[in-house]
Amino acid sequence: MRSTRFIFLLLLALPLACKDGDTIEDIGSYTITTKDFENHYSTYLDKIARMANAEKSTLARLMCNPEQTPENPMWRDVVRNLEPKEYYESYRDLRIVEQAARKDNFLDDPQIKRIIEQVTLEAIAQLYIQKKMEERIKITEEEKSSKCVEMRQKFPQEFGPLSLDECLKYAEGFLKRDRMQQEFPRLRDEIKESITINKNQKFDKTDFLANKIEAYRVMKKTGGCEATSSTPATNNKPLPLPAPNTGIRPQ
């Protein structure tokens, strides 16, 4: 998951190059300027707000009150990087690795280009769906007030000390998350219906997907999918692997 997030951060870094402002330092052939960093820091705030479905004011409160950060390593990283001093080091590290990759002609590797294209595709889809969700989901003041009361009753230690305005913002975030999970299937179907798709009726897609993809055949052979009944199975226990971060579908 960290590697996928790292690639996504690197993709965000690439298109925003800006040479205006004062030079801070040169990283290989790339010059980090004050304007360049301000643009990236602002983009980071916008990205986190979108990805976490949170108001920027909520992020600001967490930045000023880090002890209120959720008990989650990813959130701790996010809140720490809200400080420009911390984010600069993260951004600087990304630029160093990017320059090393370019120097090593890493980005010329066709497979790397395809991976970057795939990660970019997933990011575009996720951001677009979030934008469309925000356009259609409207939370009323009555709904926010009711949710705030509910949260304070269920979690008095966490939400009781908050001001009414802060509680309402959290309530809105929770309501949006729940509404997004409900609306996602409908929105997905609407998006699909908005695009014309012409299928090749002469092409056997089922056979192609099941039998004609070499990488899939290798995976089946390696994983033992085609083992005979006389071949003993290794075990039926799940492997101790981290959860994959695979794309746009909400949990």
Render pLDDT for 90-137 as a digit per residue (tens, 0 to 9). Answer: 999 999 999 999 999 999 999 999 999 999 999 999 889 988 988 888
91 C-beta neighbours (distance < 10 Å), count? 22
95 C-beta neighbours (distance < 10 Å), count? 22
The reported pLDDT for the residue numbered 2 is 45
Burial class, 7, CB count within 10 angstroms (exposed 0-12 / middle 13-18 / buried 19+): middle
The reported pLDDT for the residue numbered 199 is 93
The reported pLDDT for the residue numbered 111 is 96
Encode 181-201 in three state secondary structure. Answer: HHHHHHHHHHHHHCCCCCCCC
DSSP 210-238: III-HHHHHHHHHHTTT--TTSPPS-SSP
The reported pLDDT for the residue numbered 233 is 53
pLDDT in tens, the chain (251 residues): 444 444 444 454 454 555 689 999 999 999 999 999 999 999 999 988 887 777 788 888 888 988 888 777 788 888 888 999 999 999 999 999 999 999 999 999 999 999 999 999 999 998 899 889 888 888 999 999 999 999 999 999 888 888 898 899 889 888 988 888 899 999 999 999 999 999 999 999 999 999 999 999 999 999 988 765 555 555 667 766 665 554 444 43
The reported pLDDT for the residue numbered 248 is 40
pTM score above 0.85 = no
Distance of CA 36 to the CA centre of its chain: 22
Structure tokens at 24: 């801070």
